[in-house]
Amino acid sequence: MWISSETPAAGEVVRVRAQIVHVMESGLRLDAAGALIPRNTLTHFTATIGEALILDWVPETAISQNPYIEFTFKARLSGTLTMVWSDATGVVAEASQEITVL
């Protein structure tokens, strides 16, 4: 995760970049033995600061392996920026960083 400023001024636009390592199997490929590889894609992503929702995204099947996301938000309140990814198998990954608005 990369954040343009961990101590932005009130009203400043903050840019966030993040990447998750994930296979993003479509469920359409076969393994070496000819068996179908089960579908395993990211199904949901959220970004919040404290209880305030910044971004809610439902990825589609056309997302590449190890997806990268970039978004911006206007700094209004201090708190923990938390990003949560979940996939079709129920695995949940989380990353967080403190943001202090000056």
Cβ proximity of 20 and 67 under 8 Å:
yes
In angstroms, what CA-CA distances link 14 with 27, 70, 72, 83? Answer: 36, 11, 5, 15
In angstroms, what CA-CA distances link 20 with 12, 79, 99? Answer: 26, 22, 21
Strand order across the beta sheet in which 68-74 lies: 2-3, 13-19, 68-74
Q: Which residues lie across from 18 on neighbouring strands?
A: 69
Per-residue pLDDT of the chain (102 residues; tens, 9 = 90+): 889 888 999 999 999 999 988 888 888 889 999 999 998 889 999 999 999 999 999 988 778 888 899 999 999 999 999 999 999 899 999 999 999 999
Rounded to two decimals, the pTM is 0.83
Number of H helices, E strands in the chain: 0, 7
